[in-house]
Amino acid sequence: KAGVTQTPRYLIKTRGQQVTLSCSPISGHRSVSWYQQTPGQGLQFLFEYFSETQRNKGNFPGRFSGRQFSNSRSEMNVSTLELGDSALYLCASSFIGVKDTEAFFGQGTRLTVV
């Protein structure tokens, strides 16, 4: 079974630009979560989408947004990029249920803002 696919793997953008990252979850998984990883702050939760609705949101400014499509694929967008947005952005997909479920992560998109 194919894993979580994130595109692109690497990206270089200039301050002030905007960027869109894509995540294709494992087939059958309807929950997609996004995380930001930086050396200083570690792994931080950005938001989660389930059935095309944002269900949880972390403590990030409104420049960070996302959406989920009917096929469960998700995109996240960062507008007005700042140098501090340079990070590894990770997407995780999960099956949703009333019992324990695990999240499966993609390889991430490494964003560099110059």
Q: List residues near another protein by CB under 8 A.
A: 4, 31, 33, 35, 42-45, 48, 50, 55-56, 58, 88, 90, 92, 94, 96-108, 110
As a whole number of angstroms, the longest Cα–Cα distance in the chain is: 44
Cβ distance to another protein smaller for residue 14 or 28: 28
- Nearest-approach distance from CB 16 to another protein, in angstroms: 27
| Residues 60/65/69/73 CA torsion (nearest 10 deg) | -60
CA distance 60 to 99: 29
Cβ distance to another protein smaller for residue 47 or 113: 47
